[in-house]
Amino acid sequence: MAIDARIRELGNRHRSLEAAIEEEMSRPANDSLRLWELKRRKLRLKEEMETLKGDLHLPH
């Protein structure tokens, strides 16, 4: 199903962003603007995944 594939793709991107956030946070002088942007993108992916998961449970 196409929605399942999209959710998996978004999940992979979400995990990549999480790794980038952790890497940036581990730096002694991390870039707060970069962290904010990474977290914002991660949240948008999560919201999109939740929306798609909800669509899977709706009658078509």
pLDDT digits (tens, 9 = 90+) for 1-54: 688 999 999 999 999 999 999 999 999 999 999 999 999 999 999 999 999 999
How many domains are contained in the chain? 1
- Residue 60 is predicted with a pLDDT of 55
Question: How far is the C-alpha of 5 from the C-alpha of 21, rounded, in Å?
Answer: 24
| Residues in Cβ contact with 22 at an 8 Å cutoff, skipping those fewer than 6 apart | none
Q: How far is CA 27 from CA 13, 21, 32, 35, 52, in A?
A: 22, 10, 11, 11, 34
Domain containing 9: what range? 2-56
The pair of structure tokens assigned to 25 is: 């946070």
Q: How far is CA 16 from CA 11, 21, 43, in A?
A: 9, 9, 13
